[in-house]
Amino acid sequence: MFTRVRRVSCGALAVAAAALLTSSCSGGSSAYSGSTTSITLGALPVVDDVSAYIAADQGIFQKYGLNVTIKQVLTSAVAIPEMKAGTIDVLGGGNYVSFIQASAKDPASPAYRILAEAATCSSDSFVVLTLPSSGIQTPADLQHKTIAVNLTNNIQTLMINSVLGSDDVKAASVKYVAIPFPKMVAALEAHKVDAISAVEPFATTAEQKAGAIPIVDMCSGPDSNLPLSGYISTSTWAQQNPGAVQRFQEAISQAQEIADTDRAVVEKTLLKYVTGLTAVQAATITLEQFPTSLDSVQLNRVSNLMQEAGLIKGSFQASTLVNG
């Protein structure tokens, strides 16, 4: 068992970031003067998407000639059919594994494009938690236990297996069950699962509401600083809207810079769009990193882990999906 380190609001950081925030909102490239492009952006109810909401709230999308409608979805799997149908143009916070796996099936003509980074793993921001009464105290105790994940055979199971493997715990000894993030705490309290794999703000909610304790830091060891999610579109949409893609990338990069340097803005934004989140929880959640650009080398770590886990075959590299 370990204790998560809390990253609380810092007045000095907020003051230091004020100048950056002002320049980010008013500086940069001049206002876009061309025709406006409408984009439907799918967003998961997790911290990964906070930059999209910052960009919407602060008029950054509008500055780049983008009329963005944000539509919340529970999982990447739910969003994929809508992306194929064209009812969602871009998915924010899309876990890389789903889209790398789908694109690897046809490397010559990959189905998806990664437009921008959403979040990168930082210590304590993605954890496996259990109840104190479970008797689970170490990663080894998770053998033959049931863990709730948002999606099976995906980024969560990949990361958990990787970290557990470094502790000599075999992946086959753990059972995973798919439960949406918002429903995990209730499932844990009802003893339907032994543990949950939760991102923020759900990890903090589990600790404060159910008294859950963290057992595994999924962003440690082989998963340290691993890219988690991105802003993703179909290849068809990206090819048909190159100008909009470039403007979207610039807008998100600007919003990511704000998210990565001004916690006060992040907290205010999360309270606005995450249902049930309290001010205390917003002030104590552990934030991920919000990169302003894609790192192809780091992104390939995800596809390499997937190859090792047998989720994709061949030498497919995730970096081939980077758009631009």
- Give pTM, 2 decimals: 0.85
Contact present, 247 and 178 (Cβ < 8 Å): no
- Domains in the chain, CATH or no CATH each: 11-122+226-321 (3.40.190.10), 126-223 (3.40.190.10)
Alpha-carbon gap, residue 226 to 309, rounded angstroms: 16
Among candidate residues 64, 57, 58, the one with its CA nearest the CA of residue 116: 64
| Residue pointed to by tokens 């999906």 | 321
Alpha-carbon gap, residue 170 to 245, rounded angstroms: 42
- DSSP bridge partners of 229: 95, 119
Strand ranges across the sheet with 146-149: 175-178, 146-149, 195-199, 126-130, 213-217
In this prediction, residue 6 carries a pLDDT of: 52
Among candidate residues 204, 184, 194, 190, the one with its CA nearest the CA of residue 125: 204
Among candidate residues 23, 98, 93, the one with its CA nearest the CA of residue 60: 23
The answer for residues whose C-beta is within 8 angstroms of residue 139's C-beta and 6 or more apart is 163, 164, 167, 169, 215, 216
In this prediction, residue 277 carries a pLDDT of: 85
CA dihedral 201, 56, 115, 196 (to 10 degrees): 10
In this prediction, residue 3 carries a pLDDT of: 61
In this prediction, residue 75 carries a pLDDT of: 82
> First and final CA of the chain: distance in angstroms?
43
Residue 158 structure tokens: 């990949």
| Tens of pLDDT, residue by residue, the chain (324 residues) | 666 655 444 333 333 333 333 333 334 445 687 889 999 999 987 899 999 999 999 999 999 999 999 999 988 888 999 999 999 999 999 999 999 999 999 998 999 999 999 999 999 889 999 999 999 999 999 999 999 999 888 899 999 999 999 888 888 999 999 999 999 999 999 999 999 999 988 999 999 999 999 999 999 998 999 999 999 999 999 999 999 999 999 999 999 999 999 999 999 999 998 888 889 989 999 999 999 999 999 999 999 999 998 999 888 999 999 986
Residue 295 structure tokens: 């790192």
